[in-house]
Amino acid sequence: MAYSITPVILTAKELAVHFGEQIILDKASLSIHEQDRIGLVGRNGAGKSTFLKIISGLMPCDSGEVAKRRELVIGFLSQEFTLDETKNVHANILSGSEKVISLIEEYNSTPFDSPQHEKLQIQIDDLDGWNLEKNIEMLMKSLNAPPKERMVATLSGGEKRRVALCRALISHPDLLILDEPTNHLDTNSIEWIENYLAEYSGTCIFVTHDRYFLDRIANRIVELSNGTFYSHQGNYTDYLINKSQRHAVKEIEEKKRNNFLRRELEWVLKGPRARRTKAKSRLDNFYEVQAQQVKEVELDVEMIIPEPEKLGNKILELKNVGIELGGKTLFTGFHYAFPYKKRIGVVGKNGTGKTTLLKILLGEISPTYGQIEYGEKTDFNYVDQSRLLLNDEDTVIKAIGEGNDYVKFGRRQISVWTYLRRFLFTDDRINTLVGRLSGGEKSRLTLARILKNGGNFLLLDEPTNDLDLPTLRVLEEALISFDGCVVVVSHDRYFLNRVCNGIIALEGDGQIIYSEGDYDYYVQKRKLRQAAIVAELPKIIKEEVQEKPKVRKLTWKENKELEMMEENIFNAESDVARIETIFSSSDFYVKFANKTVELNKQLEESKMKVKFLYERWEELEKIKTPS
């Protein structure tokens, strides 16, 4: 595939950054071109955020240089964003448009007949500066930001991040730099950002663990590994293919190098008597190849969840459960009995009650309506989304061992050092203070601390936040193979599709929906429901204005139809249950992957048949016994 080369707008040349003995950037170079959509990937602690801060001008490097196109406008959303807490939401977002505001001020103070006046107007038009307030309102609505009059000091962490994201986007920058833009956003907001960036005329470089986001938006993936950049054209899927090929080539080269050294070592050990010029040259070549530094191989987290105790016949059952908080009904009328090895994803907009639902399952919050029945052998393990469980003054080993040399891992004991190595903590990092860890390292440490406690029913609240992509993949594998039940709140669509075989959706206005299958299947069903509602509206309106039909009696044929109705409904509902059982089976993707579309169609047709039969039954009963 041919790729057009566009002008360079920023060049980072031979950047070097060291944190003590740790090498973050090792004379790394990267050029960013117009219309690039660069997904920057790499392990947590590899230096991704550091690099973004350097090119945005917020952090110096030890050596090297960054060259930018003249008058390049940069918009930056960092993980550690700062807002002015003495001002309200609107003022903070407006502060991202300093360039536009200064241009308008200069325009207003420039004589109308001046050549500069027309030049300024063109610049303001290019930045859509005359619609500044309208654009602020659009961004706030699209990203579900808090009201513009709210003081920033009163906002939650998630609300502040939305405000910071609005501030970064409002400037219409030439280069948009986003560090984890999808964190703390619901799926609707994430999809809006995807659509925004898909149509964005500028250049963008971003760090995210959202693989769907990377696949849809990125036209170039840059991996930062061992202080070096590796650039791959295409999206995330293309990158994975290219990376596997790159590693295969490296393995072949390393094998050739080791074979060369083995043969030459045999010659060296023979100790030839005459060190002629040719022999000396051969010896020098041996020492040169031997001295070559081999890049350290990146390891994956060995995230093995302790084997749980067996669950009983009854695990957890919710009967007509509902909750009201602060005078607001979050959801009502929810029925569900958890079967063995069920992995359910909980989705919905922020504020709809996802975390509240987890706490109801735990028994920390009593439902307003309904009741919950717990199995005798059900043992919960809750992974909170906050990081308050960690003490910044503790070392990593103390945070896990709590003064002990061993930890209980399921039914056996292993050393704290062995356990921490499973989560990619090297010997030098094990004695590091928690407060000095990166966000991703803290996330891994929190998981390590809580997962060691076992349990056969895991409740995870946003476990994917701050995890790097390799660790995410291992967490997914661990949850899929977990021999218990899992309920996980997440906005990561890829994660939900890969891990979950059921979805609980909090859709707002008190609505709570359970859907068999993964997240994509839930979305498909939701679209069908919405389409059905839209299609029914004209019919409902028409029926309301029509006169009531004349009273009549059932015909002989209708009487026979009514007599068979219960049996027909039972058969139709059995067909629905049969297909849903296929979707929830553990080997679904092995046996039925190529029949997914056909089964979806059959399921929707069966459900529509059930709906039609119930409506027809009600219709015939009304004719039989008119009110």
Regions of the chain where pLDDT drops below 50: 1-2, 274, 388
pLDDT recorded at residue 10: 95
Q: What residues form DSSP beta bridges with 374?
A: 316
Are the C-beta atoms of residues 153 and 86 closer than 8 Å to each other?
A: yes
Q: What residues form DSSP beta bridges with 503?
A: 345, 515
pTM of the model: 0.66
- The Cα-based distances of 187 to 181, 182, 363 in angstroms read 12, 9, 28
- The Cα-based distances of 108 to 114, 136, 229, 507, 550 in angstroms read 12, 21, 46, 48, 73
Q: N- to C-terminal Cα distance for the chain?
A: 71
Measured distance CA(373)–CA(319) in Å, rounded = 8
- The Cα-based distances of 511 to 141, 328, 334, 361, 480 in angstroms read 22, 12, 9, 18, 28
Secondary structure of residue 269 in the 3-state scheme: helix
pLDDT recorded at residue 410: 67
Secondary structure of residue 394 in the 3-state scheme: coil
Give me the residue label for tokens 């709570």. 512
pLDDT recorded at residue 543: 60
pLDDT recorded at residue 388: 47
- The Cα-based distances of 343 to 381, 476, 480, 495 in angstroms read 14, 11, 8, 12
Measured distance CA(128)–CA(69) in Å, rounded = 21
Angle in degrees, CA 382, 387, 392, rounded to 5: 130
Element (H, E) at 581: helix 565-584
Measured distance CA(173)–CA(441) in Å, rounded = 32
Angle at which helices 157-170 and 132-142 cross, to 10°? 140
Pairing assessment for the beta strands 502-508 and 485-489 based on DSSP bridges: unpaired
Measured distance CA(258)–CA(252) in Å, rounded = 10
Return the closest-CA partner of residue 83 out of 180, 174, 150, 177.
150
Angle in degrees, CA 193, 198, 199, rounded to 5: 105
**What is the layout of strands, in order, in the sheet containing 369-374?**
328-337, 316-325, 369-374
Radius of gyration for the chain, computed over Cα atoms and rounded to the nearest angstrom: 30
Measured distance CA(15)–CA(54) in Å, rounded = 9
Measured distance CA(28)–CA(15) in Å, rounded = 5
- The Cα-based distances of 141 to 104, 144, 163, 347, 527 in angstroms read 25, 5, 11, 20, 22
- The Cα-based distances of 485 to 317, 340, 375, 455 in angstroms read 13, 7, 12, 10
pLDDT recorded at residue 242: 78
DSSP 134-178: HHHHHHHHHTTPPPTTSBGGG--HHHHHHHHHHHHHHT--SEEEE
- The Cα-based distances of 541 to 547, 611, 622, 623 in angstroms read 12, 20, 20, 22
Are the C-beta atoms of residues 246 and 231 closer than 8 Å to each other?
A: no
